[in-house]
Structure 1
Amino acid sequence: MKLLYKSEQFNLKNNVASITTIFEKVNDSIEGNDFVFSHLIVDDIEVYDKHEDYLKEHIGEIINVEIVTRRTKEMIWETMTSVNSYLERAIPALRTLVDESYEKFTDKTWNGINQLAEGMQWILQFTSFTKNAHQQPSNWDSIEESVKKCEESFSELIEGIEVQDTVLISDILSYEVTPAYEELRKNLVISLKDERFLKNVN
């Protein structure tokens, strides 16, 4: 199989040992540069997670593996846009979830809460990544403060879940989580208007 990265090309054997070589090349491609690893393209299929598992599963038939990187600021911008789009959908869904939860807690309610928790984990990963970058978008302090409020509200939510207090859970979703999400989205929208940061993403 061929390993591709920018203009470089390497011939590798179709065996498990080559997977180590691939990830060594990933590390080499970003070390000391303002780049981050984005994903692999394996025979025209974009693989964003569980890369090693995917490679092992298909190792005997792979023809091409391409390493895709992004500039750090480009990755921040793309993820910030995705988080904003997520919140745009999540906030109305959260309001509906709250209304329904006050009437009756169902499996759908618990599934909705689990999905919120997964979304929160993703937001925290984005925040951690951006905080450690060389440059943050405008209004970053306000975004960080909003994320902190979201995190605190989820801590309270977990306490309510642990004691199975459905009224408390609904109250926290309504009066803590929803306003925190709304404030975070407002601050993200401000950052996404930062044309200087956007112009430098290239």
Structure 2
Amino acid sequence: MNIYIQDEVLEFDNDPKITKQIFDAINEYLNKRELKFSHLIIDGISVYENIFTYFSDNINKMEKVEVVLQTITELVNETIITADNYINNAIPLITELAEEFYQQFNDKTWLKLNDLFEGIQWLIESLTQIDSIKNLNEIVNNYEVWNEYVQEVSKLSVIIPELEAVIIGKDVISIGDMLLYEITPAFESMSDKLGFLLPKMGANHVS
């Protein structure tokens, strides 16, 4: 069978035993080029769900497999979904982290704070990438709400240097205060905005 990805063709035997090998090869191709997977078209049939099972069950008679990539819209939507999941999971953890700084902090507390910094950095970077897309107003569900979300994320860019300053000074009470009264409200507001932007999405790999 021939597997078409962009302008390349991968050739494989029609053997059910190598289904995983085939999927690994496709995913390796996608990962190296930072491409996002949408679905497969197998001999003219679009397959969105239970792809591995369908592939394995029909591999003996397959001839042409097309790997369909995500559109810009799908990439934007996936980023919005990821940001929403991260923020909603992070909110209760930030509250717990603040309490640790108030009561009894340790090395793990500082590691958690570092993880939060990395998460915030990702939020800022992903927003910058999306906001630079042309015709973004035609992609997101609500462009006005998107701009409100941008403003909320921008607040983090102001808060972070201030938080870094109190970290350097090892002022643990101030760290707790900033987490609880500045970072948490910003995250809650961001979550509220993203609730109006959430779409339905595909996956970033074939499985």
Quickly name the TM-score band, shorter chain normalised.
0.5 to 0.7
Corresponding position of 1:186 = 192
Q: CA deviation at 1:163?
A: 1.6
Structure 1 contact 150–177 (Cα < 8 Å) conserved: yes
What stretches of structure 1 move > 4 A for 4+ residues in a row?
A: 44-49, 66-69
Corresponding position of 1:88 = 88
Q: RMSD value over aligned CA atoms?
A: 2.9
Residue of structure 2 aligned with 1:162, choices 148, 161, 168: 168
2: distance between equivalents of 1:156 and 1:133?
30
Q: CA deviation at 1:128?
A: 0.7
Q: CA deviation at 1:3?
A: 9.3
Q: CA deviation at 1:70?
A: 2.5
Which entry has the higher C-alpha Rg, 1 or 2?
Answer: 2
Q: For the structure 1 residues 104 and 191, does the alpha-carbon distance in structure 2 shift closer, same or farther, using more than 3 Å as the test?
A: same
**CA offsets 1:148-170 (integer angstroms, 9 cap, x no match):** 11222222111111222111111
Q: CA deviation at 1:9?
A: 2.1
**CA offsets 1:56-87 (integer angstroms, 9 cap, x no match):** xxxxxxxxxx9974211110101100110111
Greater shift, 130-139 or 89-98, is seen at: 130-139
For 2:86, give the aligned amino acid. Answer: Y
1: distance between equivalents of 2:68 and 2:98?
40
Structure 1 contact 150–181 (Cα < 8 Å) conserved: no
Matched residue SS, 1:192: coil
Residue of structure 2 aligned with 1:43, choices 7, 22, 25: 25
Q: CA deviation at 1:125?
A: 1.6
Aligned residues: 151
Structure 2 contact 98–175 (Cα < 8 Å) conserved: no
**TM-score between the two structures when normalised by the length of structure 2:** 0.63
Q: CA deviation at 1:142?
A: 0.5
For 1:109, give the aligned amino acid. Answer: T
For 2:90, give the aligned amino acid. Answer: A
Matched residue SS, 1:9: strand
Q: For the structure 1 residues 168 and 68, does the alpha-carbon distance in structure 2 shift closer, same or farther, using more than 3 Å as the test?
A: farther
Structure 2 contact 149–190 (Cα < 8 Å) conserved: yes
Corresponding position of 1:123 = 123
Report matched runs for 1:128-139 at 5 Å: 128-134=128-134, 135-136=136-137, 137=140, 138=142, 139=145
2: distance between equivalents of 1:76 and 1:99?
35
Flag structure 2 segments of 5+ consecutive residues without an equivalent.
12-22, 34-65, 202-207
**CA offsets 1:90-129 (integer angstroms, 9 cap, x no match):** 0011111111220022112111111111111111121111
Corresponding position of 2:57 = none
Q: CA deviation at 1:5?
A: 2.0
1: distance between equivalents of 2:107 and 2:27?
34
Q: For the structure 1 residues 122 and 69, does the alpha-carbon distance in structure 2 shift closer, same or farther, using more than 3 Å as the test?
A: farther
Q: Percent identity?
A: 28
2: distance between equivalents of 1:91 and 1:126?
19
User: Whose relative contact order is higher, 1 or 2, with alpha carbons under 8 Å and at least 6 apart?
Assistant: 2
Structure 2 contact 155–186 (Cα < 8 Å) conserved: yes
Matched residue SS, 1:190: coil
2: distance between equivalents of 1:70 and 1:141?
24
2: distance between equivalents of 1:112 and 1:98?
11
- 1:176 paired to 2:159: no
